[in-house]
Amino acid sequence: MNFLKTAAAAAISIALLSGCNDNDVEYVNHTEVKVAAYNLSFDRATFADLVAEMALASSEQQTLVDAYLLDRDAMEPADKTTAEKVIQIRNVAAIIQKNRPDVLMMGEYNNDGTGEDLSALTGFQTNYLSVAQSIDGAGGEANLEPIEYPFAESYATNTGLLSGFDLNNDGKIATEADLGNYDYANDSWGFGLYHGQYAFALMSKYEIDSENTRTFQNFKWKDLEGAENPFLDGENWYTDEEWQNMTLSSKNHVDAPILVPTKDGIETIHILMSHPTPPVFDTGKNLLQNSAEVEFWHKYVTNAQDFYDDAGNTGALKDGAHFVIVGDQNLDAATGAGDGLTETMAELHADPVVNQNVTNGDLYPTSYGAAEYAADISSTHPHPNRITAEFSGGLNVDHAIPSASLNVVDSGVYWQASYQDGHMLFNDARIGKYGNGKDISSDHRMVWIKAKF
């Protein structure tokens, strides 16, 4: 599914792909492609909440924001909450408009569970991305250029999809009657208070090859080469029946080919998307699953084993194919950084199949904002300028890992320090309880690479 199924988006496509002005020629003969991953923290209580927020017209948004900045305590509680969400979405849109990625993987973008309902994505494009935002945050002058993504997809997710098993071993099996509580979330294939929470989506200036997209939502953990039923506290975590059915992916693993028109023809880049479970919040099962979810992509890009996808096709990525592994992997590559099995990410980073200048060289994505944050909190991270998330002492968990076949010419993490324009998109004492993190935009940062053909 993509936006080109609507008349309005079709018009956008025609404007981009046809005509004879210089901008059109530049688009068709594109030589540089910017690919980004960004966990937006749009994890609302329901999918309907996100749809409603995205449906607000710019004028409605402005009324709420103006009232909030004037006197938020005088607002009705529901309006105050909506105003804070609108400010967050606007700031996220501003970050996207400022960085202008050609291809953007968006984590924690709730959907209907199946990925078929694109209303939240359509609203985001129409009412936020297509409207000029401000580099100066809430109440600032609209000084950024709108951005259009003619193509978008949302993907099915295991989060909030009930398993029918007692996956957290608390002695009971959750049912639909537990919808919205932790019993329901913990007995779902992936943690979610409802089906569709914490899903992810893709927006692109270039065609998403939906026909050849591969999803691995139903790939079983047991079928990952070398996998074993987690053995914790003297016994297997899962019963034999649970282990036979347990999905590897807490959300999904998706291989979406992007078709990039260049002067030499179409170049295909495989956008490999996932959002592994955090390696915490239980007695150790999540630690092992997080590592396995990252290992999946390592095996996939090195042809280490055959994989079956949700359509029944088998195989791994073809040798020499361009790819970028993107998403909040909830795993750092630095020893001792966070609670995950960092050696799993370090091994992926060290493999010559990925671009070593990005994973171990001068083009490792960094930011001044991360370095300043690390100094402010006395972080012990060994590479403070690489931090992408402001929790657990600062972690480098958001990744855009390109293949060695791609000629990467630039990279970065968008995190502005206090002395840089755009800092208000991350820290604004006027907003929310704390004036940072999800109150303002996200507790994660956009990470990106730029490849040249």
pLDDT, one tens digit per residue, over 211-230 is: 999 999 999 999 999 999 99
Closest C-alpha to 278, from 36, 47, 35, 43: 43
Given a contact cutoff of 8 angstroms between Cβ atoms, the answer to whether 33 and 181 are in contact is: no
pLDDT at 25 over 50: no
Q: What is the rounded CA–CA span in Å between residue 370 and residue 376?
A: 10
pLDDT at 7 over 70: no
3-state helix, strand, coil in the chain (%, to 5): 35, 20, 45
pLDDT at 146 over 80: yes
DSSP per residue over 190-228, as a string? B--SSTTTT--EEEESSEE-GGG-EE-TT-BGGGSTT--
Question: Domains of the chain, with CATH numbers?
Answer: 3-159+195-452 (3.60.10.10)
| Stretch 121-143: mean pLDDT | 98
Contacts within 8 Å (CB) and 24+ apart, 230-238: 230/284, 230/285, 230/288, 230/289, 232/283, 232/284, 232/285, 233/283, 237/169, 237/284, 237/285, 238/167
Sign of CA dihedral 367, 368, 371, 373: negative
Predicted TM-score (pTM) of this structure? 0.93
pLDDT at 10 over 80: no
pLDDT at 13 over 60: no
pLDDT at 263 over 90: no
Supply φ then ψ for residue 225, to 5 degrees.
-55, 125
| Stretch 105-121: mean pLDDT | 98
| Stretch 242-255: mean pLDDT | 98
pLDDT at 445 over 60: yes
Given a contact cutoff of 8 angstroms between Cβ atoms, the answer to whether 203 and 151 are in contact is: yes
pLDDT of residue 30: 66
Q: What is the rounded CA–CA span in Å between residue 354 and residue 325?
A: 9
Tokens 């990625």, located at residue = 101
Mean pLDDT (the chain) is 93
Q: What is the rounded CA–CA span in Å between residue 434 and residue 430?
A: 9
∠ Cα 19 24 28 (to 5°): 115
Helices then strands, each counted (H, E), the chain? 12, 14
